[in-house]
Structure 1
Amino acid sequence: MRITVLSDNLPARGLEAEWGLSLYLEYQGHALLLDTGASDLFARNAEALGLDLGAVAFGVLSHAHWDHANGMDAFFARNPSAPFYLQASCGEVCFDHAPGLWRYEGPKRGLLDRFAPRLRYVTGAFSPLPGVHLLPHTTPGLARRGAAAGMFCLRAGQWVPDDFSHEQTLVLETPRGLVLLSSCCHAGADTIIREVQAAFPGRPIQAIVGGFHLYETPDQEVRALARRLRDTGVAQVLTGHCTGERGFALLREELGAQVAQFSTGLVVEL
């Protein structure tokens, strides 16, 4: 399989960058799209790279945040038929909380309603294609992580800590093992690996790909995560976006060549 980074925080190959993430996946003769970044930048970069968004069989929204969802209208303008898969709890519900401030973090207002005919809401694990799996979180108590990070959802008029039930992991089967794609890993990259190991017992994990949401995490916590990642037995770690430059540097110190950083335009064969 091949992964092309259409949108990330870091620019490369003469392409534009933004705070957002979008990955173009080529898997067993199919083109897939994970997320659409924060704008139409991913689509412009795809055109510059000679990648046809019109050929994408389906898209996946990793979670209900603006920096992954806000380019969806640009995708639908270029692809007349491919559906987009979301977890059933996705909606305009996500906020960050700081003293005296509630900041909306969800998709553009009205975006999900406007393109409702193209959206496929799934509950629980789902396989849209042989060898391709969408997994929700199965770890209990994730709302505690949301509260600690100041991440909340507005549901039925009530503020509740985000339990990341709107987040899903994209899992691809390959001859060398499973490839996990989780765009922000709000539940923790090691937690996600353990969830996949429980869903696919005995299957090796070739790689985890995505942002790890470490850009504001204290150094000692990043180093502890690196050690837990090593303990999972994952072979490769490919990260960027919300991991942050400092977070990546610390992971690299702990994991060495096991971890690599992605940037806009990077192409990876797994």
Structure 2
Amino acid sequence: MKVTALTENRSSGDLLGEHGLSVYIEYQGKKYLLDTGSTGLFLENAKKLGIEIAEVDTAFLSHVHYDHSGGFGAFFEVNKKASVYLQTDAGRGRYYKITDSGEKYIGIPEGLLDTYRERFVFVDGNLSCGEGIHLLAHHTPGICARAEKAHMYHKVAGTVKVDDLKHEQSLIFETRKGLVILNSCCHAGVDVVVEEAQHAFPEKPIQAVIGGFHLMGSDGADTMAGTREDIVALAERLTQLGDFLIYTGHCTGMPAFEILQQELGKRIAYFSTGTRVIL
């Protein structure tokens, strides 16, 4: 299994970065895409890396935020065959930090689901979508508290409510050494995501976790939400959960990553644009 970061917040060499994440995966002779970043930039980076996006067999949307779904229009123009799997709750509008003065829409590009409806496969909960490939939806009670802390909301019949994270899903691959979990932002918490995978596959160890951990502050990837103690506690929790590898970036933010690296050492690496991981 080979995993490549096509787009991530940090640039690398002649590759360009943006706020977002797009991941290309080669597994058992087939090609997969998880998310498309904010724009069509992932296509340019893929070309420089010698990756043919037109050959992607299947795609997945981890959740409906713009920085993961914004490039799907460009994807459909290049790739004419791949279906895109996403949770059925994806159609609801998502907003950030709704206050008395207004709201900021952060959802999937408006009109995309209707324009390309035949390309989307809506999933209600968990799904095995190929040999050794699984989609895992959230089942942990109380995760709305994490969404509220992150100022994430949605609208239900015109009423603003805390995001229930039902649009988010983990993509899991089985390898000889265990499970590889990809969750692009881990809004419920990376520890929760790992626990959910362990409960769903109790007989299989976790080999690696790849994705953002939503630890950056509201002012971008060079800031941090919470305290150093919070990040150290998360590192301790991840250690308790197992000795798996961790590749993270995007919404983790550099300050939090540096603390995690101090605590976890060689277990963790930054998953920057152009990074290739063989598992």
TM-score over 0.5 (shorter chain): yes
Shift of 1:146: 1.4
The aligned counterpart of 1:101 is 102
After superposing the two structures, state which structure 1 stretch, 17-26 or 105-114, moved more: 105-114
**1:43-58 aligned within 5 A:** 43-58=43-58
Report deviation, 1:89: 0.3
Calculate the aligned-residue CA RMSD, in Å: 1.0
1:199-226 Cα shifts (integer Å, max 9, x gaps) = 0002110000000000122222111111
- Residue of structure 2 aligned with 1:222, choices 231, 236, 240: 231
Distance in 1 separating the partners of 2:52 and 2:180: 23
Which residue of the partner structure matches residue 33 of structure 2?
33
Is contact 1:197-1:203 (8 Å) kept? yes
Q: Deviation per CA, 1:140-182: give whole Å up to 9, x if none.
A: 1111221222110012111110111100000000000100000
Q: What's the counterpart of residue 17 of structure 1?
A: 17
**1:203 equivalent in structure 2:** 204
The whole-number CA distance in structure 1 between the counterparts of 2:231 and 2:83 is: 36
> Which residue is equivalent to 1:169?
170
Contact 2:248 2:269 in 1 (8 A): yes
1:54-93 residue pairs with structure 2 within 5 A?
A: 54-93=54-93
Aligned to 2:222: none
Distance in 1 of aligned mates of 2:172 and 2:213: 16
TM-score when normalising by structure 1: 0.98
Q: Which amino acid aligns with 1:212?
A: F
* Structure 2 counterpart of 1:194: 195
> Which ranges of 4 or more aligned residues in structure 1 deviate by more than 3 Å?
none
Query: Counterparts in 2 of 1:113-124, with a 5 A limit?
Result: 113-124=114-125
TM-superposed CA distance for 1:98, in Å, is 4.8
Q: SS in structure 2 opposite 1:36?
A: coil
Q: Give the one of 241, 256, 261 matched to 2:265.
A: 256
Kindly state the Cα deviation for residue 234 of structure 1 after the two structures are TM-superposed: 3.9
* Whole-angstrom CA distance in 2 between matches of 1:149 and 1:19: 17
Show the 5 A alignment for 1:222-241. 222-241=231-250
1:147 matches 2:148: yes
Aligned residues of 2:88 and 2:123 also touching (Cα < 8 A): yes
**Residue 107 of structure 1: how far off its partner (Å):** 1.3
Aligned 8 A contact 1:93 1:153 in 2: yes
Q: How many residue pairs were aligned?
A: 270
| Residues 234 and 186 of structure 1: CA distance in aligned 2, closer, same or farther (over 3 Å) | farther
Contact 1:145 1:163 in 2 (8 A): no
Does the 8 A contact of 2:92 with 2:156 survive in 1? no
**Cα distance between partner residues in 2 of 1:113 and 1:223:** 44
Structure 1 portions without partners, runs of 5+: none
Identity of aligned residues (%): 45
Structure 2: runs of 5 or more not aligned: 218-224
Equivalent residues of 1:152, 1:160 under 8 A apart:
yes
Q: Is the 8 A contact 1:97 1:152 kept in 2?
A: yes
| TM-aligned CA deviation for residue 253 of structure 1 | 1.0
SS in 1 for 2:23: strand
Equivalent position SS for 2:89 = coil
Normalised by the size of structure 2, how large is the TM-score?
0.95
Partners of 1:58 and 1:109 lie apart in 2 by: 22
Q: Say whether the 8 Å CA contact 1:92–1:107 is kept in structure 2.
A: no
8 A contact 1:8–1:22 mirrored in 2: yes
Q: Tell me what 2:220 maps to.
A: none
Instruction: Write the distance in 2 (CA, Å) between the matches of 1:104 and 1:227.
Output: 35
